[in-house]
Amino acid sequence: MTVHQLIAGAAARHAGRTALVDGPTGAGVTYGELWRRVERIASWLHGRGVRHGDCVALWTANHPAMAAFALGAMRCGAAVTTLNPAVTDREAAEQLADAHAAIAMVSPGLVDRALALDLSTVVAIGDAPGAAPLRDLLAHDAPPPTVEVDAGSPALIPYSSGTTGLPKGVVLMHANLVAVSRQLAHAFDAKTSDGTLAVAPFFHILGMTAELLMPLSVGATVVTEPRFDQATFVDLLERHRISFLAVPPPIAAFLVHDPNVPARDLSHLELIAVGGAPLARHIHEALAVRLPRAAIGQGWGLTESSGAISVPRRRTGAPIGTVGAPLRDTELRVVSPDTHVDVRSDLDGELWVRGPQVMRGYLDRPDATAATITADGWLRTGDLGRITSDGHVVIVDRLKELIKVNGFQVAPAELEAVLAAHPAVADAAVAGRPDARTGEAPVALVVAARRVEVDELSGWMRERVAPYKMPVEFRMVDALPRTASGKLQRQRLREMVNTPSRSEESGQLARAGQTLDGADGSEGFIDATRIEDA
């Protein structure tokens, strides 16, 4: 089955139900109307020369039109590549060229930039000079094209985050996306009566699969929010009786700290699945107290696995410190990073995954594909972890991010979790820098929630980690570099710790007796500006 066939089936069964709602305006689209839009967009695109094997682009914030345009392109046999609205013109041009996309639908504010790029056609959601307005596509009444698209055709080409290397196009087939939609629907026990608030961006694989394709596949309602807005987020949760959320960690933290949450009726919220980056233990615990009716847990997936490998379950969530249990039809192995031999169940190793959601490969990069997927179909995730005796997955860190101290492996994520649990720490990151004596040394970057002395932080760490894991320096920063999903940008962190701090330049390291100040005395972890910037 193809993606558009999957959604067409839902539209036939639930024609009168609301499929999508634009959060800011409240305008809704039924499943019947959604499918009529898909057919008309497919006809218009076909008239513009879009054929099987082509690629079209989506460069816009979350909006109901994204679903119709993406499905219309797939109905023509084309693949869809998605761009973050925050990318630069250079980055946009590189991705569009790499994906061979000549047509793009964009937000009105991006039209001028898109028109300056090498595109044959720019479609604007609203009115904008030089662009084809979306209403022209929706008014197109020619019959839809007759195109044979099979499950093995490319459907989506998102680009990997680039936090540890250059972005690469990830070729996801129709079969991959149909499989992951069904896997997630099974794990989340998704129902027609469900509603989700899609604040995770659709250009990110978490938003595209967990908050758009999966709910549409079962006849649920998707409420879109173009960007996180703390003034309206809780209002939308309550007004639309949202039953499940898939969100990055900063929004989970917002739900913990926002003073309006306890006064709202969120009793219908049954599952909060957190993905994209690690969820701090204290945030998980506090969220469970604040929203006791909701199951809570982290999930784990890669763009290369269509966004999902293991997830929390609707009734039980996931144990703290784990990323849930594997999806059905998904195999996991834990292997030695050096020998690629399976390790004992009580040891950590690189996690390998095999299942119907695993990508075909990287676009036009056979060498990178061969280095990532084995001949017998195992995806090397690059994540260090283990599987517990009760079947849950624990992620220790990214293999490439391990810090080697005197030959010992130090996982930054472990130190970050310990630091983040300190009440004076709003956010934290750890990266390694070269050290003449130990090879490498951990350096902690701290966003302080209040004034705190380094002695207090170092004492806290010393009680909780082995001596070789201790950071050699604690640096105060106003914010940490994160991707749209909340994932730490490790390359930028390494650049930060390898740049002398003001204290180093003056001959003083952050050490005993020094005080780190919060930038404004606020809870930096939930700073709305940083969430919106992401």
Nearest CA among 401, 428, 399 for reference residue 415: 428
Could you tell me the pLDDT band of residue 484, with boundaries at 50, 70 and 90? low
| pLDDT at res. 516 | 53
Rounded Cα–Cα distance for residues 312 and 478 (Å): 32
Residues 135 and 248 in one domain: yes
Which structural domain, as residue segments, surrounds residue 132? 3-393
- CATH code, domain with 168: 3.40.50.12780
What percent of the chain stands above pLDDT 70?
91
Residues 204 and 95 in one domain: yes
Residue 523 has pLDDT above 50, yes or no: no
- The single-letter code of the amino acid at 507 is G
Give me the phi and psi of 400, to 5 degrees please.
Answer: -70, -15
- The single-letter code of the amino acid at 157 is I
Q: Which two tokens stand for residue 522?
A: 């606020």
DSSP 134-197: HHHHHT--SPPP-----TTSEEE--B---SSS---BEEEEHHHHHHHHHHHHHHTT--TT-EEE
Residues 406 and 388 in one domain: no
**Do β-strands 271-274 and 295-298 pair in parallel, antiparallel, or remain unpaired?**
parallel
Global pTM value: 0.81
Residue where a domain terminates, one of 374, 393, 412: 393
Residue 163 has pLDDT above 60, yes or no: no
Q: Which two tokens stand for residue 354?
A: 């095999």
Judging by beta carbons within 10 Å of its beta carbon (0-12, 13-18, 19+), is residue 78 exposed, middle or buried?
A: buried
Provide the domain count of the chain. 2
- Tokens 């249990």, residue? 325
pLDDT tens for each residue of 430-455: 999 988 777 789 999 999 999 999 99
Q: Which two tokens stand for residue 52?
A: 């099987």
| pLDDT at res. 165 | 53
| pLDDT at res. 439 | 77
pLDDT tens for each residue of 320-333: 999 999 999 999 99
Residue where a domain terminates, one of 365, 393, 421: 393
Residues 106 and 220 in one domain: yes
The residue-averaged pLDDT of 68-72 equals 97
| pLDDT at res. 145 | 85
Residues 435 and 487 in one domain: yes
Residues 520 and 373 in one domain: no
- The single-letter code of the amino acid at 177 is L
Q: Which two tokens stand for residue 517?
A: 């100040």
Could you tell me the pLDDT band of residue 520, with boundaries at 50, 70 and 90? very low
| pLDDT at res. 414 | 82
Residue 215 has pLDDT above 90, yes or no: yes
Residue where a domain terminates, one of 326, 358, 393: 393
pLDDT tens for each residue of 242-252: 999 999 888 99
Residues 226 and 249 in one domain: yes
Residues 221 and 249 in one domain: yes
What percent of the chain stands above pLDDT 90?
71
Residues 427 and 361 in one domain: no
Residues 234 and 158 in one domain: yes
Residues 340 and 479 in one domain: no
pLDDT tens for each residue of 359-404: 999 999 999 999 999 999 999 999 999 999 999 999 987 777 878 7
Residues 435 and 363 in one domain: no
- CATH code, domain with 509: 3.30.300.30
- The single-letter code of the amino acid at 165 is G
The residue-averaged pLDDT of 394-419 equals 81
* Helix 249-257 × helix 281-290 angle, to 10°: 50
